Amino acid sequence: MKNIYAIILLCAATPSYAEGNFTVGGFVGIEDGGYVSDDNTTASIVPYFAYDTEHFHIGIDGLGYHVLNGDNASLSLTAASNLGLVFDEDNDFFDGMEREADLTIGLEGTYAFDGGLFIAATADKDISDAHGGMTASAAIGYETDLSFVGITVSGGAKYTSEQHNQYYYGVSPTEARSGRQAFETKDAVLPFASIEMVFPVSDNGAIVGLLDYTDLSDIGDSPLLEADYEASAHIGFIYSF
């Protein structure tokens, strides 16, 4: 989910239609792989709301302070919490798998070269008592504007620490049960790729399509996963004013 919000944030910042401080929208999509589910493919609804100024971002995805917000380069301080909403409460498989809400602080940076090529990097750490883990990612991508659609393709890898993985994918001995054996995680590197398509329909609104894939092979032995990958496709509408 966090990846989807990051992509929406990039789309909402597109100068061709984002002329206001508020951005609202909603997405529907399908997700495959990842956590054990009742169906191999699950449907999802993703709402979005944000308020942005030149230096601040406040949204459903968290808080941000833009230390640098130039034409080619950006650097932001971020803060976010998952509110403890990690596992599907309606899925009996996760009974007894409660998680405390985390609080992560981080850095996000991008640099755009001439011609559409860009690089991006993130790093964050949980400063609460939930898990204390950290993640870091690096990506490279290319964006272009055609006559009726903007397309961005990117790929990279994300490092996730042992503490982070134990929180999201581990099973302690007290949580183990039949069909859900105890599992201790380790550090992991997770390759990912995404495609974003933005179809402006007015100066302030756009239809957005998102495709996202993450390779979970490094943590694929977790009993909480039904596959060693996670893939999703979403389509929605965002409006800025």
pLDDT tens, residue by residue, 132-183: 999 999 999 999 999 889 999 999 999 999 999 999 999 999 999 999 999 9
Query: HEC string of 95-142?
Result: CCCCCCCCCEEEEEEEEECCCCEEEEEEEEEECCCCCCCEEEEEEEEE
What's the pLDDT score for residue 4? 60
Q: Which CATH number fits domain 2-240: 1.10.10.10, 3.40.50.300, 3.40.50.920, 2.40.160.40?
A: 2.40.160.40
pLDDT tens digit string along 96-136?
999 999 999 999 999 999 999 999 999 999 999 999 999 99
**Cα R_g (the chain), whole angstroms:** 18
Let me know: does 241 contact 52? Beta carbons within 8 Å: no
Handedness of CA 204, 14, 43, 47 (dihedral sign): negative
Q: Helix (H) and strand (E) counts for the chain? A: 2, 12
Q: Please, which residues have CB within 8 angstroms of residue 147's CB and are 6 or more apart in sequence? A: none
At 13, the pLDDT band (50, 70, 90 cuts) reads low
Kindly list the distances between the CA atom of residue 72 and the CA atoms of 45, 118, 119, in Å, as whole numbers in the listed order. Answer: 33, 9, 11
Mean pLDDT, to the nearest integer, of 228-238?
94
Let me know: does 153 contact 141? Beta carbons within 8 Å: yes
Mean pLDDT, to the nearest integer, of 232-238?
94
The domain locations on the chain are: 2-240
Alpha helices (H) along the chain: 2-12, 162-169
- What are the backbone angles phi and psi of residue 62, rounded to the nearest 5°? 130, -165
Q: Please, which residues have CB within 8 angstroms of residue 168's CB and are 6 or more apart in sequence? A: 86
At 17, the pLDDT band (50, 70, 90 cuts) reads very low
Residues in the chain: 241
Q: Is the pLDDT of residue 19 over 90?
A: no
Let me know: does 190 contact 139? Beta carbons within 8 Å: no
